[in-house]
Each structure stands twice: as C-alpha cells, then as structure tokens.
Amino acid sequence: MRRALLASAVALFAIAGAAVAQNPNLPPAYATLNLSAGFQPDPVVVNLVAGGNIDARRLGGNCVGMIANPPDVRLNYRSGAFPLFIGARSAADTTLVINLPNGQWLCNDDFQGLDPGVVLQNPPSGQYDIWVGTFGGATAPAQLLVSEIPPR
C-alpha cells in the first residue's frame, strides 16, 4: 500500500512539474541557429509569429506574456570575447523567454519601448531555447534578433 501511494505521489509530482515549465527539448517551430563568436551577418534575424496559448508567468520570476509550447528558435552558440544580445521586434507588445544553457530561465519585457531583449555580457556556450510571447493571447508577426553588438 505504501509503495502504491509513493508511486502515485511520484507520478503526480512528475505531471505537476511538467506543467510548470516549458519543454526545451521539443524541436523549435521556426529555426535552429548554429553560431560561433564573430558570426556574420550580424544581426541574425528570424521571422516568426509570436505568442501562443501558454502563460509564461508559470515559469516564475519576471516571465510574462503568452507563449507557444515548443521554442520558437534554438540557438546553439559557441561564445568568445563578445557579449550576446537576443531580442525581438514587432508592432505588437512582445515578451521574451529564454532557457539558458545551464537550464535557468531568463525573461524580459520592454527592453526598448515594447520590444523585449537581453544582453549577456559573458554568454556561456551551449543551447539557448527562445520563445517570443505576446500579451493578451493574440499572435503577431515578429522578428527575433541575435547579435554580438548590443543596442545602446
């Protein structure tokens, strides 16, 4: 009986844990970028449709907006001596959710106007899974930008 209860509790916890965070192991919806420090052209731009039906607030921290289940873009990055800028631009109010190579979540809203962005001064090498979200549940055309020249 105890084993059955314990197994049920473990299974319930696994299901609840899966509901709390996005799955960065899903294939990206729009692009996989393989970039090394000094990449050209800079910036790299990916056209996509921002938004989805999942509330990013469930990730905690300052995550907001509605995102899709799979990442929009996967960035495999080999770092060097440059900072890394990841941002989005759109006519809509967009947000940014990034799963860093170490598994931590980084989110931003309104970096420049209503466009989100993050600057990593010493970016680690590895896989970055990126979601571009929107407010209010509607989807919107957007562009994801990856650059080693941070905006001023």
Tokens of 132: 């571009």
Domain of 36, in residue numbers: 23-147
- Confirm whether 86 is domain-assigned: yes
- Confirm whether 137 is domain-assigned: yes
Q: What is the CATH number of the domain that holds 96?
A: 2.60.120.380
To 5 degrees, how large is the angle CA 40–CA 42–CA 48? Answer: 110
- Confirm whether 110 is domain-assigned: yes
10 burial (CB, 10 Å; 0-12 / 13-18 / 19+) is exposed
Overall residue count recorded for the chain in this entry: 152
- The per-residue pLDDT string of the chain (152 residues; one tens digit each, 9 = 90 and over) reads 333 333 333 333 333 333 445 777 899 999 999 999 999 999 999 999 999 999 999 999 899 999 999 999 999 999 999 999 999 999 999 999 999 999 999 999 999 999 999 999 999 999 999 999 999 779 999 999 999 999 97
How far is Cα 32 from Cα 43, in angstroms, rounded to an integer?
15
- Confirm whether 1 is domain-assigned: no
Number of domains the chain is built from: 1
- Confirm whether 53 is domain-assigned: yes
- Confirm whether 2 is domain-assigned: no
